[in-house]
Chain A
Amino acid sequence: MLNIRNLHTKYGPISVIRNVSLHVDEGETVCLIGANGAGKTTLLLTISGLIKPSSGSIVFDGNEISGMRPERVVQLGISQAPEGRQIFAPLSVLENLRLGAFHRHGKNREENIARDLNEVFRLFPRLHEKREQMAGTLSGGEQQMLAIGRAIMANPRLLLLDEPSLGLAPRLVDTIMDTIKTLNNRGITILLVEQNAKKALKISNRGYVLETGRIILQGKSSELSEDSEVRRAYLGKDYKEISQRH
């Protein structure tokens, strides 16, 4: 479904993504793990068109989308729930959700949007309860639900999730992770960026480990979560010892 080949992205003269190749097959949940500054968010932003790559190819469903405008990328079926949620605080929950469907058209537009709104409210009953409330007054967990709900309103086939567990209480993290699993079971393919590597590996099929803009390891999530190096570096086991090799 998504094939990335030899992607390079720079911020000015600084290379952030260095020759990254990865793929996501239809129906998969794939996670990207790595330390702060490894380039995970930049990679997602490059896929969704918010940052232009300096070179490389991103093919989605046979279409080259590298460097394409973000609204066109959304129309093709990719939407992103950004890190830090980025919701519109002065607008209501409902208005935020409807904004997620801004690009949708066709004669059954309103009907389809209403159906998907119901779907989001079924997934997140809290959003239904607070649908008229200003989004800025929601708790962190609710804002995260709103960010994911807004991304779903774009009716994506591939959902990019950037740190959905960031800043949430452990119980809410589990709720969000369960929701991601549910979305995947409903047929949405997911590319997940997470610092909580343990949780991310638990709900994904495969994973890539990003280190200073390069992929240094990949594999089935079950293998990566058992890998000593991954456990030390990203799962909180003896972090200090990563450098004490020889």
Chain B
Amino acid sequence: MENDKVEYLPEDAWRQWHTELLQSTVNRVYERMPFYKKVLDEAGIRPEEIRSMEDLKALPFTSRTDLASNYPYGFFAVPLRDIVRIHTLGTSASTNPIVLGYTAQDLNNRKWLTRRFLVTCGVTPEDIVQICLDPGMAIPGQDLKEGAEALGALVIPPDPLSTKTRLQVLVDFKTSVLITTPSYARYLMRHLVQNGLPLASLSLKRLILVGETLDEETRREIELGLDMETRAGYGVSEATGPGLAYECPCKCGLHLSLDHIIPEVIDPCSGQQLGPGHWGELAITTVTTRSNPLIRFRTGDLTRLNIEPCECGRTTWRMAPVRGRTDGLLAIRGVLIDPADTSNLIAMWAGGKRLPFLMVLSDKDYLTRLELWIAINEEIFSGSLPHSTTG
């Protein structure tokens, strides 16, 4: 179905389509992935028992730990020869990274989803799109670059440049759309003011904010400070990338890509599915992903769903902007950091010794910074610790 039509399907068509997609996905993962065959067998669920969307809640969850513990290729539903790209993510509590593979079709889907997200946010082929994201957001950075290219815009991809150079590019290259995190947008805004650059002389007309929670206050501050419109996007690297949800001109929630995922909100403690309007953890079932299909993947992001059709005419469900995490991970400039990993890292430096530590988040010049305060003792100074296990 054409991308522009699919967002406007009536409710009963969505119900039919989701039932079909959920059933074929469960059939496929059961046949192709030993991990899911095992967990479904253990839960006593046979694929043919999935009769409607209501049955989704009977299925077991998938966590980041499940992905990491199947390192490296245990979570692939297709032969390795069908995979054309691999990314690794180091956000799990396990020592192994998460390995994500993509078939050519998976990459194509990510590209077109990102393209749809950007088009809905008002990006046109006439735009000059600059992407400023930290290296930790390399995967969404690449997806955004490819999506913007697919719609025919001129793209300035993410580069490890200084803020001064980025600003120079912004001004001299006449950037019209900037894609960045809310915190970096505020940081840039401050630099623009500090350097006395007249905002009116910028070609910039729109900011697309990704990777972090976006509260109304921050948004208003950016929109007023830069005198331009902002739009928000939401993505999950493990699922379909940055085009997972995006804002239409109404800016009343982010439209979810229901043609590729089935979203639900659950109670993070009990795992119970929650109805529309209730805040809880977003769980995602991917229904078109060929390489790493996910059943009820727990994102750790706190949101709520609105299933009413939008004023813009789209019938796709909307999620509220993410307002926090449910799993203790810290989202800093779009990068997820697990305190357990930090503890492991300190222990490696300290020759296996577990040292008490504090993770302190500060907001210096609008840019979120993470400081690590480690409690040290005499052993550290005397050099009597066993040798560090890292290089």
Contacts and interface: CB of A to CB of B under 8 A. Distances in A.
B269 interface: no
B103 A215 contact: no
A214 B1 contact: no
B51 interface: yes
A216 interface: yes
24 contacts: A5-B19, A5-B51, A19-B49, A19-B51, A21-B16, A21-B20, A23-B16, A208-B24, A214-B27, A214-B48, A215-B20, A215-B27, A216-B24, A216-B31, A217-B24, A218-B24, A219-B288, A220-B1, A227-B290, A228-B79, A228-B81, A228-B82, A245-B32, A246-B80
Contacts of A8: 48
B73 A246 contact: yes
Interface string A117-140: 000000000000000000000000
Interface in A5-46: 5-6, 8, 18-19, 21-23
Given A5-B16, A223-B105, A226-B105, A216 B27 contact: yes
B43 interface: no
Interface string A233-246: 00000000100111
Interface of B: 1, 16-17, 19-21, 23-24, 27-28, 31-32, 47-52, 73, 78-82, 103-105, 288, 290
B79 to A, nearest CB: 4
**Interface SS of chain A: helix, strand, loop or mixed?**
strand
Interface string A197-224: 0000000001010010011111110010
A214 B105 contact: no
B285 to A, nearest CB: 15
A142 interface: no
Nearest to A238: B81
Contacts of B49: 19
Contact of A246 (B24, B48, B79): B79
Contacts of A196: none
Nearest to A227: B105
Nearest to B103: A228
Contacts of B79: 228, 241, 244-246
A3 interface: yes
Contacts of B19: 5-6, 21
B27 to A, nearest CB: 5
Contact of B28 (A21, A216, A228): A216
Nearest to A3: B16
A226 B80 CA distance: 17
Contacts of B48: 8, 18-19, 214
**Interface SS of chain B: helix, strand, loop or mixed?**
helix
Nearest to B34: A246
Nearest to B83: A228
Interface of A: 3, 5-6, 8, 18-19, 21-23, 206, 208, 211, 214-220, 223, 226-229, 241, 244-246
A228 B20 contact: no
B62 to A, nearest CB: 19
Contacts of B51: 5-6, 19
B16 A19 contact: no
Closest 4 CB pairs of A and B: A19-B48, A228-B82, A245-B79, A214-B27
Given A3-B16, A19-B23, A245-B32, 8 more contacts: A5-B16, A5-B19, A206-B1, A215-B20, A215-B27, A226-B105, A229-B78, A246-B80
Nearest to A215: B24
Nearest to B22: A21
A161 B336 CA distance: 53
B71 to A, nearest CB: 14
A229 B103 CA distance: 11
A246 B73 CA distance: 9
A3 B13 CA distance: 9
A8 B17 CA distance: 18
B104 A226 contact: yes
A228 B50 CA distance: 27
Given A6-B51, A18-B48, A214-B48, A23 B20 contact: yes
Nearest to A220: B1
A142 to B, nearest CB: 37
A187 B138 CA distance: 48
A11 B288 CA distance: 32
B152 to A, nearest CB: 21
Contacts of B81: 228, 241
A211 B23 CA distance: 13
